[in-house]
Amino acid sequence: MDARPESPAAAAARASSAAAAARASSAEAADRLRHGSSFGTAAAAYAEHRPGYAEAAVRWALEPVAGRRPLRAVDLGAGTGKLTETLIRLGADVTAVEPDPQMLAELRRAMPEVSSVPGSAERLPLPDASLDAVLAGQAVHWFDLDRAMPEIARVLTPGGVFAGLWNVDDDRVAWVAELAEISKRKSSVTLTRWREGMGRSRLERLTAAGSGLFGPVQEEEFGHGQARTADSLLATIGTHSHVLVMDEAERAGLLAQIRAFLRRRPETADGEFTLPMVTTALRAVRL
């Protein structure tokens, strides 16, 4: 039986729905760009206050290629080199790739001996099949994965590994959960939100974008508590993108509210304390 022709009303509704989806996608891309490009203005503070990644997480990420010598790795979206430092310590031959010139300048100032180049996940300035590992710390969520995954696959050798790592606050601890709410970070990843779906969503996006190029995406978690004071934790929060894109008055008000909270809580009021944190990791092997 032949299908009935689409009515004008149905065609108009379908076109309207497609246009709305396109606008939403464009708005999401613009918001991602605005947040992702905000870090350069705080490059020095980022270098000073942001944590590195659990060494056990980086070892796990590199496990599929651990026997290769030399182990040629890229820190993709390297920022000021937090992950680069750990890769070097583990003996990798590292190239840092970073799109923001201010972040790249800070990395080069701190680690002049490291090979570093401007570039992005969607356009890597590296030869085909030249790498054993591509790692990205706190960066994969800024990528256009449909473009980035084929590009990452291009520069990896067969059997090479791609991994994303994130440091997330452990909000199973009451004061950490309260801090996350005060900090207006409802859209940010905490350990609970990661386990309740954000981690699964990112795993599924990587799986879909890397289909036919990478094997199954695997997931792990690694404890990574950080020594902090109220002042240093406040400075760390000040380098988060959702704070950097606020106007000056809103940012000052939020940071004052957080400072008052940290001074009020017995866990954080006096001297040094441990911020409970976990490094979460996703990895996939190039087919």
- Is the residue at 3 inside a domain? no
Range of the domain at 247: 39-285
275 membership: H or E segment, kind and range: strand 273-275
Look at residue 232 and tell me if it is in a domain: yes
Confidence of residue 41 (pLDDT cuts 50, 70, 90): low
Please, what is the end-to-end C-alpha distance for the chain in angstroms?
44
Cβ burial 174-198 (10 Å sphere, 16+ → b, else e): ebbbebbeebbbeeebbbbbbeeeb
- What one-letter code names the amino acid at 26? S
Q: Tell me, yes or no, whether 124 lies in a domain.
A: yes
Task: State pLDDT tens for residues 235-279.
Answer: 888 877 767 777 888 888 888 999 999 999 999 999 999 999 999
Range of weakest confidence among 11-15, 59-63, 224-228: 11-15
Specify the pTM: 0.83
pLDDT digits over 189-222, tens only?
899 999 999 999 999 999 999 999 999 999 999 9
Is the pLDDT score of 34 beyond 80? no
Per-residue confidence (pLDDT) for residue 109, from 0 to 100 = 94
Main-chain phi, psi angles of 273, to 5 degrees = -145, 170
Residue listed under structure tokens 């651990």: 66
Residue percentage of the chain with pLDDT more than 90: 70
Structural domain contains residue 75: yes
Which pLDDT score is estimated for 156? Answer: 98
pLDDT at 8 over 90: no
For all residues of the chain together, what is the average pLDDT?
87
The residue whose two tokens read 């503070």 is: 45
Which DSSP string corresponds to 40-94?
A: GGGHHHHHHHS----HHHHHHHHGGGTT-SS-EEEEET-TTTHHHHHHHHTT-EE
User: For residue 79, what is the domain's CATH number?
Assistant: 3.40.50.150
pLDDT of the residue at 49:
73
Give the tokens for residue 51. Answer: 């944590």
User: What pLDDT does residue 193 have?
Assistant: 93
Q: What is the per-residue pLDDT across 149-205, written as a single tens digit (0 to 9) for each?
A: 999 999 999 999 999 999 999 999 999 999 988 886 555 689 999 999 999 999 999
Q: How far apart are CA 269 and CA 271, in angstroms?
A: 7
The amino acid that residue 125 corresponds to is P
Alpha-carbon span 199 to 217, nearest angstrom? 11
Residue with tokens 């000040």: 238
Residue among 147, 165, 143 nearest 282 (CA): 165
| Residue 34 belongs to a domain | no
Predicted confidence (pLDDT) at residue 284 exceeds the cutoff of 60: yes
154, 146, 148: which is closest to 136 by C-alpha? 148
- Domain annotation covers residue 148: yes
Burial of 161 (0-12, 13-18, 19+ CB in 10 A): buried
pLDDT for the residue 25: 42
Number of domain units in the chain: 1
pLDDT > 70: what percent of the chain? 82
Structure tokens at 247: 């106007």
In the predicted model, what is the mean pLDDT of residues 43-51?
A: 72
CA distance 29 to 10: 29
Among 107-116, 132-141, 247-256, which is the least confidently predicted range? 247-256
For residue 15, tell me if it sits in a domain: no
